[in-house]
A and B are shown apart, each in its own frame.
Chain A
Amino acid sequence: MAVGIISYGAYVPRYRIRSEEIARIWGDDANIGRALNVHEKSVPGADEDVATISVEAARQAMRRAPTGPDDVGAIYVGSESHPYAVKPTGTIVQAAIDAGPYLTMADYEFACKAGTAALQTGMGLVQSGMAKTVLAIGTDTSQGAPRNALEYSASAGGAAFLLGAERKHILAELHHTVSFTTDTPDFWRREGQKYPSHGERFTGTPAYFRHVEAASQRLMEDQKTKPDDYDHCVFHQPNGKFPVNAARRLGFKEPQWRHGLLAPRIGNTYSGAALLGLANVLDHAEPGDRVFVCGYGSGAGSDAFDCTVTKNILNYDRSEAERLETRLADTTELDYAMYAKLRGKLVMGGNGA
């Protein structure tokens, strides 16, 4: 049975802080943004979190969907910054899209790849016939500790994909997925800790590159494809440098990541990163375009996907108002003081005065 994306939605908060503004506060090199290829990152509003971003993305997906909320048989929200330690984000999404109670659900966490894990679970449920449609969401509002290298990249955003099996609805058919997973502690956040920790350079070769490249190579072996066969590639983007290096090492070339690489403009949206890149690719894709996607989550694992855009994309609402680029163009730049206020880094007095 075929399985594919039948609708999608994407949401990135409007606020941005530039890398040189963060560098100004800490006396770092003003060119650090160029080194990381992250020129600015998204910042959530004071009242935005993983639930609100997931709802906005899910509502856009459902608004454009060929099927209704009562057909949703499962909702999976992947994130490492769920608002509750115990209580699902997915139920909030369920209520906000008016989905019925007869569905299955769980929140996922696998650092930055919980969103692609949700996509894989959805593929399985739809392909097996256990669910008519599945809503797979990846969203984060991650924080880096002040002055930590992560502060330049940890950002906010998310995307939602509605998966289904009816060929007349499929916008992008998901042909195959491969995962590569090992116990590699390159990045973590202990219970009760506000900010994550990481292994600095250890996050590179033995972590990100090993897993991304292994999953990607196996996927292309299984599918008997090579990088040239793809019109677009999307890699997890903890910064703007790693995905470009991984893509080049695998044999992809620059035009292939032109729509899938958003980190230079919005930073690392963690569980949302690969999915937002895929959403932006689908906003631009033509029928027949083949898309390569590879997520990565610290800890560590990679999920790679091979999909092809169908002619149904021509009848899908990709009007200006619905495109991710339209949202990314409408931004408000923050200085570090406003950033600290929105991110709750200011210590308020007892009565808030």
Chain B
Amino acid sequence: MTVPRFWREIPQRYNLQASKCGACDAIHYPPRTVCPECRRASIGNLEEVKLSGRGTVLESTRVHKAAPGYEAQVPYTLALIQTEEGPVITGQVVDHDGRAVSAGDDVRAVFRRLGEDGDAGVIYYGTKWVLA
């Protein structure tokens, strides 16, 4: 990831900043510049909102073949999280100590290190999830 892209996305990565369509009230994460349903009617009619950081697991999977940068964390858990405001977020569930993460489990957002650009590059921070 380039530094400028990470920098642009800090509000959504750190604080779950989303967008709310003024025409249909739908909330989108990551934030949109146009509502995919209302299209033109949403232009200039979107407001920034923050997700609460509370959600429920829809599905989860245990990853044994790591994505680059996550080699030292295997096995780790990824989940589809239904946030209470509506958007579904793919996120890592941490600190569950081998206990199964199952559909229906309540989770909450925590602030963690997401990755780094090698030993000398920028460190990327953002949101992961723990069982609530």
Decide: B72 and A52 in contact? CB cutoff 8 A: no
Decide: B113 and A51 in contact? CB cutoff 8 A: yes
Decide: A352 and B112 in contact? CB cutoff 8 A: no
**CB of B114 closer than 8 Å to a CB of A:** yes
Decide: A47 and B14 in contact? CB cutoff 8 A: no
Interface string of B95-132 (1 = CB under 8 A from A): 10100000000000011111000000001010010000
Distance, CA A59 to CA B112, complexed state (A): 13
Decide: B125 and A51 in contact? CB cutoff 8 A: yes
Decide: B72 and A46 in contact? CB cutoff 8 A: yes
Distance, CA A83 to CA B116, complexed state (A): 11
Decide: B72 and A344 in contact? CB cutoff 8 A: yes
Distance, CA A47 to CA B91, complexed state (A): 14
CB distance from B79 to the nearest CB of A (A): 16
CB-CB < 8 A to A332: which residues of B? 95, 97
Decide: B72 and A45 in contact? CB cutoff 8 A: no
**CB of B61 closer than 8 Å to a CB of A:** no
Decide: B71 and A52 in contact? CB cutoff 8 A: no
CB-CB < 8 A to A56: which residues of B? 110-111
**CB of A30 closer than 8 Å to a CB of B:** no
Decide: B66 and A47 in contact? CB cutoff 8 A: no
**CB of B45 closer than 8 Å to a CB of A:** no
- B: interface residue count bin: 20 to 34
Within 8 Å by CB of B71, from A59, A84, A96, A353, lies A353
Decide: B10 and A47 in contact? CB cutoff 8 A: no
Decide: B71 and A47 in contact? CB cutoff 8 A: no
**CB of A72 closer than 8 Å to a CB of B:** no
Decide: A96 and B15 in contact? CB cutoff 8 A: yes
CB-CB < 8 A to B72: which residues of A? 46, 341, 344, 346, 348, 352
List which B59-104 residues lie within 8 A (CB) of chain A.
Answer: 66, 68, 71-73, 94-95, 97
> Chain B at the A interface: mostly helix, strand, loop or mixed?
mixed
Which chain A residue has the least Cβ–Cβ distance from B76? A46
Which chain A residue has the least Cβ–Cβ distance from B110? A56
CB-CB < 8 A to A49: which residues of B? 113, 123
Interface string of B16-32 (1 = CB under 8 A from A): 00000000000000000
Decide: B97 and A47 in contact? CB cutoff 8 A: no
CB-CB < 8 A to B71: which residues of A? 348, 351-353
**CB of A98 closer than 8 Å to a CB of B:** yes
List which A83-114 residues lie within 8 A (CB) of chain B.
Answer: 83-84, 92, 95-96, 98
Within 8 Å by CB of A59, from B94, B111, B125, lies B111
Decide: B15 and A47 in contact? CB cutoff 8 A: no
Distance, CA A98 to CA B16, complexed state (A): 11
Distance, CA A67 to CA B68, complexed state (A): 42
By a beta-carbon cutoff of 8 Å, the part of chain A in contact with chain B is: 14, 45-49, 51-52, 55-56, 59, 83-84, 92, 95-96, 98, 332, 341, 344, 346, 348, 351-353
Known: A95-B15, A352-B68. 9 other contacts (CB 8 A): A14-B95, A51-B123, A52-B111, A52-B125, A92-B125, A96-B14, A96-B15, A96-B111, A352-B66
